[in-house]
Amino acid sequence: MHATYWWVVEGGTYLGAITVRHELNEFLLRAGGHIGYGIRPSARGRGLATWALRSVLPQASALRLEKVLVTCDDGNLASAQVIEKAGGVLEDVRHTELGLTRRYWIPL
């Protein structure tokens, strides 16, 4: 799947990454979503994931996407809060190949 990747860095130190997938296949529609991100444990709790997610939404809009799907594990409350802070609206929680998955749509 075609995607654009960015690293989150600070002073030359890698802190995480975020990806925007330009379209969804069946698996991504069920479980993976348009956007995936991860912040290394030592850098968590600083708002970096929220900043990164908000920062890539204009890039997703430039791809002519009207809304993006962002998912997280049902037990990952920190990630759910990140998605909600970025405007994510919970569509459902479902069993997927990745386990129990929260599926959010963010209008662009």
The pLDDT assigned to 96 comes to: 97
In which residue are the tokens 């929260």 written? 102
User: Do 103 and 90 form a contact (C-beta atoms < 8 A)?
Assistant: yes
Q: Is 94 helix (H, G, I), strand (E, B) or coil?
A: strand
Range of the domain at 72: 3-107
The pLDDT assigned to 101 comes to: 98
Q: What is the mean pLDDT of residues 35-42?
A: 97
- Total-model pTM: 0.94
User: Do 19 and 35 form a contact (C-beta atoms < 8 A)?
Assistant: yes
Q: What is the mean pLDDT of residues 43-64?
A: 97
CATH number for the domain that contains residue 89 = 3.40.630.30
Q: What is the mean pLDDT of residues 65-84?
A: 98
The pLDDT assigned to 1 comes to: 82
Number of domains in the chain: 1
The pLDDT assigned to 102 comes to: 98
